[in-house]
Amino acid sequence: MDSSAAPTYTLSRLVDPLSESQFLQLLAARQPAYQRATIAGRYRDLWNWEMLLRAMSSGSSLANHLLVTRNESHVPPMFYSKGGDLDVKALAGLMERGHSVLAKNLPMWSPEIRCLTMSIKARLRERIGATAVASTGTGGALRLHFDRCDVLALQLEGRKRWLIFDDPVPDPVSAGPNASRRTEGTPVLDVTLSPGDYLLVPAGYWHRCLNGGDRSMHLALLFYPPTAQNILSAVARNLAGDPRFRRPFLRDSSNPRTRDAIAATRAQVIERLQAMSDDELIGAFVDQDDQLIDY
């Protein structure tokens, strides 16, 4: 499928029976929300177990885009790759023995999902990523954690229990302070997703998933809205292409030449920011390569 073509799946289709505007209100409010399927298995053609196996068997070097875990602990790539290339047989064996696989940067693997994420990105002016989480056996793929993006979890196959807890980390960003949680406490939402259900997990909410023992898979759509922090970080990366911003200052901060250089840099940054339109500022972050998105 051409990624410029109209997607088969749209945001409106994904969040039905909510309207797109109702879903966007939930997204803006950053409150967890669960929606039972109107049609069981309605996401199966978007991504499924067979598609994952075909992608892994395609001959592409996909090992760097996989995270494999067992009982919420990381499994080193040496157990499922050879020379940096994916060992499909070894990975299939791990999956048969109760491991979980996170297939990151999924738009690289699926033209349909790439078309979907690009359409949502154009509609919302946010960076959109996608990760598939396939689990076998009992337990979960990841330990109790929070994400720095809003996550729309679409249950593709099997069943998965989600536990979401209170006291979220407010407005987390990649350069923000570290946060830790010692105990889970009482969940504010305890729900088991079946095929076709979806769950909105806002950024900052501590959560974990538990697999029921059978094969299960969900697709996580990742919403990264522009913030002042990530816009400024993106602008700073763009400025690195200008030799003036790579030149080191003198190491003696008391030297007048150092102070002059800092003052000149400050003026240049202000000038650059003032010259950029609002859309250019947002685009500095939103229009980056989506392969940089992680989960």
Structure tokens at 274: 């003032």
What is the CATH topology of the domain spanning 11-224?
Jelly Rolls (2.60.120)
- Measured N-to-C along each axis, helices 278-286 and 228-239 cross at an angle, to the nearest 10 degrees, of 80
Distance CA 292, CA 234 (A): 12
Structure tokens at 221: 């759509």
Q: What is the pLDDT of residue 1?
A: 47
Going from N- to C-terminal start, the domains of the chain cover 11-224, 228-292
CB half-sphere exposure, 141, CA atoms < 13 A? 22
Instruction: Decide if pLDDT at 152 tops 90.
Output: yes
Distance CA 242, CA 247 (A): 9
DSSP-derived 3-state class of residue 282: helix
CB half-sphere exposure, 137, CA atoms < 13 A? 16
Instruction: Decide if pLDDT at 236 tops 80.
Output: yes
CB half-sphere exposure, 74, CA atoms < 13 A? 5
Q: What is the pLDDT of residue 290?
A: 58
Question: Band of the pLDDT at 5, cuts 50, 70, 90?
Answer: low
Quick: pLDDT tens for 238-255: 888 888 888 888 777 788
Q: What is the pLDDT of residue 182?
A: 65
Question: Band of the pLDDT at 8, cuts 50, 70, 90?
Answer: confident
Q: What is the pLDDT of residue 160?
A: 94
Considering the chain, what percentage of its residues have pLDDT values greater than 90? 40
Q: What is the pLDDT of residue 98?
A: 84
Instruction: Decide if pLDDT at 196 tops 90.
Output: yes
Distance CA 266, CA 273 (A): 11
Question: Band of the pLDDT at 232, cuts 50, 70, 90?
Answer: confident
Mean pLDDT of all residues in 125-150: 90
Phi-psi region at 204: left, alpha or beta (left = phi > 0; alpha = psi -120 to 50): left
Quick: pLDDT tens for 160-178: 999 999 888 888 877 666 7
Q: State the DSSP H helix or E strand holding residue 256, giving kind and residue range, or none if neither.
A: helix 256-275
Mean pLDDT of all residues in 223-240: 86
Average pLDDT, the chain: 86
Report which of 21, 10, 11, 14 is spatially closest to residue 218, judged by C-alpha positions. 14
- Burial of 39 from C-beta contacts in 10 A (0-12 / 13-18 / 19+): exposed
285 CB contacts (<8 Å, ≥6 apart)? 127, 226, 230, 231, 233, 234
